[in-house]
Amino acid sequence: MRIALILLTILMLGACKSPEARYPVSQNSGSYIRESVERNRELVAAEEEYIKDLMEEDSATEYLVSNDGFWYYYNKRSTDSSNTEMPEFGDLVKFDYSLSTLDGEPIYEEGEKPTREYAVDQEELFSGLRQGLKLMKEGETVTFLFPSHKAYGYYGDKNKIGTNVPVKAKVTLHDINKNESKNED
């Protein structure tokens, strides 16, 4: 009986102890993140080099470089001197687009995707196309060359576009409806 009383006392004293922090069995030094960053840098550099090689081969086309990390050329440029408006935040634009691989293999052919209405910077759209639309004027058709991080990135579109696929997008901007409410503020 005496031994049971001693064990019970020891158990009670041990139970009153404050909880101790549990430490992970293995600790990461952040090497996974550093390795991932390095892989992504190499991927971006390889894609950009491939795009530059394609542009060199197509010397007849005048390519422009955007400040946002993609290249483009005009299929149809506006020659109307009164047509100077480009989409800005909140404007409603109507456009069509098709997507292909950089080698020209169709992913979404012209007419496969319906004409899209888009409130600039207020709706979901992959980043390259969102930025590219702001470089266009009404009635223009532009072909953009997007590295994968400016297109659908790591996740793809969960349909026809896989992981880390750079794309060529041919975009026609039909209409820009200016957001009048931003001028009233």
Q: Residue 123 maps to which CATH number?
A: 3.10.50.40
Cβ contacts of 126 within 8 Å, gap of 6 or more: 146, 150, 151, 152
Residue 14 lies in a domain: no
Q: Which of 94, 78, 54, 90 is nearest to 176 (CA)?
A: 94
What percent of the chain is modeled with pLDDT above 70?
89
Write down the pLDDT at residue 144.
Answer: 97
Q: What is the pLDDT of residues 91-135, one digit of tens each?
A: 999 999 999 999 999 999 988 888 999 999 998 999 999 999 999
Query: Is 20 part of a structural domain of the chain?
Result: no
Q: How far is the C-alpha of 8 from the C-alpha of 13, rounded, in Å? A: 9
- Classify residue 105: in a domain, yes or no: yes
- Residues 50-60 have pLDDT tens digits of 999 999 999 99
Residue 70 lies in a domain: yes
Task: Kindly report the pTM of this predicted structure.
Answer: 0.79
Nearest in space to 117 (alpha carbons), one of 133, 93, 87, 86: 93
Domain count, the chain: 1
Question: Which residues form the domain of 98?
Answer: 63-184
Residues with Cβ < 8 Å from 107, sequence gap 6 or more? 99, 100, 101, 160, 161, 167
Please report whether residue 33 resides in a domain.
no
CA distance 131 to 140: 15
pLDDT at 83 over 50: yes
Distance CA 137, CA 78 (A): 7
Q: What pLDDT, in 10s, does the model give residues 19-41?
A: 677 776 766 667 888 888 899 99
Confidence (pLDDT) at 32: 81
pLDDT at 64 > cutoff 80: yes
As a whole number, mean pLDDT of residues 157-182 equals: 90
Whether the per-residue pLDDT at 82 is higher than 50: the answer is yes
Positive or negative, the Cα torsion across 97, 99, 104, 109?
negative
The single residue listed with the structure tokens 């759209």 is: 125
Does residue 131 lie within any of the structural domains? yes
Please give the pLDDT value at position 185.
47
Q: Give the separation between CA 142 and CA 104, rounded to whole angstroms.
A: 15
Residue 38 counted as domain residue: no
- Sort strands 71-76 and 106-108 into parallel, antiparallel or unpaired: unpaired
Tell which wins on pLDDT, 164 or 30. 164
Give the residue among 129, 125, 121 at the shortest CA–CA distance from 70. Answer: 129
On the question of pLDDT at 88 being above 50, the answer is: yes
Provide the CB-side half-sphere exposure for 175 (13 A, CA): 9
In a domain, 155, yes or no: yes
- Is the sign of the CA dihedral 59, 101, 141, 131 positive or negative? negative
